[in-house]
Structure 1
Amino acid sequence: MKTVLITGASGFVGQALAQKYLDAGWQVNGIGTSLNHPMADAYDNFLWTSADTSLPGEWQDLVAQSDVIVNLAGRNIFKRWTTAYKKAIYDSRIQTTKHLVGAMPDTFHGQLLNASAAGFYGDRGDTPLTETQSYGTGFLARVCRDWEAQAQRATSKGARVAIMRFGVVLGSGGALAVMSRAFRMFAGGPLGSGEQWFPWVHLDDLARAVFFLMEHNAQGIYNFTGPVPIRQKAFAKALGRALKRPAIMPAPAFFIRLFMGQLGDSFLCSQKALPAALETAGFRFKYDTAASALTQIVKTRNGI
């Protein structure tokens, strides 16, 4: 039985991936800050460790036992960015990855699948963003740059490293659950002008792509974003249509910045990220458009 170590296994993406590995018959070792995990009681081959991975500790003993490491650990960015919370966002990602790599034996022959985000590119307007583009400016771009740099250090230990730059993950929960609340109260609409490009990916396609990279023992950088880009105002319209609600209540940019601070600026960034590396490698998306992704989620998950 092969073993996967998932940091951030109690999160939205982490739980979905843990279930996929369990279904495939793997031993799943999950780590996170929650005291317990529901899968620990439901599955004999799921081991839960509660730990703050931004600090070294006994949890690092699990690293050498792993055939694959999926590093998702990181504080939720969808909170107001105080100075203290920005440090927590940064340290939870960079320090966790530093400690993961530090715990690898010098001849680690496993694979590290390390999360990052389309925020790596910063605000890039209408520029098509494939994986060869340089990093942008802003707090999230710096976090992603340093996060990826720490992960790439694992190559010196013999690991094959794949960087996964996630768009906004669409599924039954996560960011979409937050966005849908406004629409259900008939108060949904574009953010700012709505002209900014909105990178997205369906949770099912994300999980399939993780397995695709694992099965191909891939390395390199991969945008985990839907193949058909969409502007934010068109996304809001598609979400409203899926929920059978209007999308006519725009949130002005000054209002977003006033009440959300720097987090608000991130909502107004434009990232036309394209999954060029995944498609070149042969991966095929099940949900090509945001509209098809949203329709499926609303219909099959009893809403969001």
Structure 2
Amino acid sequence: MKTVLITGASGFVGQTLAQEYLNAGWQVNGLGTSQNNPMADANDNFFWTSADTSLPGDWQDLVAQSDVIVNLAGRNIFKRWTKEYKQAIYNSRIQTTRNLVDAMPDNFGGQLLNASAVGAYGDRGETPLFETQPYGTGFLAQVCRDWEAQAQKAESKGATVAIMRFGVVLGPGGALAVMSRAFRMFAGGPLGSGNQWFPWIHLDDLVRGVFFLMEHNAQGIYNFTGSVPIRQKEFAKELGRVLHRPAFMPAPAFFIKLFMGQLGASFLCSQKALPAALETAGFRFKYNTVASALTQIFRS
């Protein structure tokens, strides 16, 4: 039986991915800060370790036992960015990845599938963002740059490294649960002008993409974003449609920045990220449009 180590396994993406590995007959070693995980009681092949992975510890012994490592660890960015919380966002990603690589034996022959984000590109307006585009500027871009650099050091330990730059993950939970609240209260609408490009991916396609990279022993950088990009105001319109709510209450840019600070400013960034590397490798999306993704999520 093969073994996968998933950091951040109690999170929105991590839980779904862990279940898919269990369904495929793998042993899953889950890592996170929660004291317990109900999947450990429900599945004989799921083992939970509670740890702060930004710090070295006994949890690192799990690394050498792994055929595949999926690194999803990172503090939630959908909170107000105080100076202290920004440091926590940074450390939870960079330090965890550094500790994973440090724990790899010199002849580690497994795979590291490392999360990142399209925030790596910064605010890029109308520019189509393929994986070959340079890093942008800003806090999230710097986090992603350093995060990816730590992951790529695993190649010196013999690992195959794939970087997955996630767009906003759409599924029954996560960011979509937060965004839909305003619409349910008849207060939904675009953020700022709404003309900014909104990078997205359905949770099912994200999980399928992880397995695709694993099965192909892929390496390099991959945008995990839907194949048909959409502007934020069109996304708001589609969300209002599936919730049977209006989408005409825009949140002015100055209001977002005033009350949400740098986090709010990041919501106004435009990132027309395209999944060129995944599609060139042969991956085919199940949900090509936001309309099909949102319809499936809310009708389910």
Q: TM-score range by the shorter chain?
A: over 0.9
Residue 224 (str. 1) matches residue 224 (str. 2): yes
Deviation at residue 28 of structure 1 after TM alignment: 0.0
Q: Which residue type is aligned with residue 175 of structure 1?
A: A
Runs of 4+ deviating beyond 4 Å: none
Partner in structure 2 of residue 276 of structure 1: 276
Q: Within 5 Å, give how 1:149-228 maps onto structure 2.
A: 149-228=149-228
1:85-117, Cα deviation, whole Å (9 max, x unpaired): 000000000000000000000000000000000
Matched length = 300
Q: Which residue type is aligned with residue 103 of structure 2?
A: A
1:245-297, Cα deviation, whole Å (9 max, x unpaired): 00010000000000000000100000000000000000000000011100100
Deviation at residue 131 of structure 1 after TM alignment: 0.2
Q: Which residue type is aligned with residue 176 of structure 2?
A: L
Once superposed, what is the RMSD of the aligned Cα atoms? 0.3
Q: TM-score, normalised by structure 2?
A: 1.00
Partner in structure 1 of residue 71 of structure 2: 71
1:18-57, Cα deviation, whole Å (9 max, x unpaired): 0000000100000000010010000010000000000000
Partner of 1:70: helix, strand, or coil? strand
Q: Which residue type is aligned with residue 158 of structure 2?
A: G
Distance 1:151 1:77 in 2: 20
Q: Which residue type is aligned with residue 292 of structure 2?
A: S
Partner of 1:63: helix, strand, or coil? helix
Distance 1:40 1:5 in 2: 14
Q: Which residue type is aligned with residue 232 of structure 2?
A: Q
Q: TM-score, normalised by structure 1?
A: 0.99
Q: Which residue type is aligned with residue 130 of structure 1?
A: F
Partner of 1:246: helix, strand, or coil? coil
Partner of 2:134: helix, strand, or coil? coil
Residue 101 (str. 1) matches residue 67 (str. 2): no
Partner in structure 1 of residue 40 of structure 2: 40
1:180-233, Cα deviation, whole Å (9 max, x unpaired): 000000000000000000000000000000000000010000000000000000
Deviation at residue 178 of structure 1 after TM alignment: 0.2
Q: Within 5 Å, give how 1:1-304 maps onto structure 2.
A: 1-300=1-300
Q: Which residue type is aligned with residue 274 of structure 1?
A: L
Distance 2:43 2:292 in 1: 33
Q: Which residue type is aligned with residue 233 of structure 2?
A: K
Q: Which residue type is aligned with residue 107 of structure 1?
A: N
Partner of 2:48: helix, strand, or coil? strand
Partner of 1:162: helix, strand, or coil? strand
Distance 2:142 2:22 in 1: 34
Distance 1:291 1:256 in 2: 26
1:49-74, Cα deviation, whole Å (9 max, x unpaired): 00000000000000000000000000
Partner of 1:135: helix, strand, or coil? coil
Q: Which residue type is aligned with residue 262 of structure 1?
A: Q
Distance 1:267 1:8 in 2: 23
Any unmatched runs of 5+ in structure 2?
Answer: none
Partner of 2:163: helix, strand, or coil? strand
